[in-house]
Amino acid sequence: MGLCWYIFFVKNYLEEVKEVQVRIRALNADKEDLKVVDSNIMTLAAGELRLVETEETNDKTSIWSKSTFETEYQTYFYEYIYRFRDPSEN
């Protein structure tokens, strides 16, 4: 099987700037781990929607060619968790 590309987005529904990080767990049909990826820490303005970027996200391509991560096999399920903070807390 060829590579499978996955695209995830995150939106800041708050009315202030936040830093956010997402962890995504990709699972196969038997709910076994295919991959666990952590996003880069991203700064989002109030109401901003952005692609979740990881080490695997290619910065040199257009937004239409980017993906969050890829796997060798199809993902049937995924789980995610996120955390956020004020930019001044770092």
pLDDT at 2: 62
Is 84 in contact with 17 (CB distance < 8 Å)? no
pLDDT greater than 60 at residue 1: no
Q: Cα–Cα distance between 84 and 90 in angstroms, integer?
A: 11
Q: How many CA atoms lie within 13 A of 53 on its CB side?
A: 15
Q: What is the pLDDT of residues 50-81, one digit of tens each?
A: 999 999 888 777 777 888 999 999 999 999 99
3-class SS of residue 49: strand
pLDDT greater than 90 at residue 9: yes
pLDDT at 10: 97
Q: How many CA atoms lie within 13 A of 69 on its CB side?
A: 21
pLDDT at 17: 97
Torsions phi, psi for 43 (to 5 deg) = -95, 125
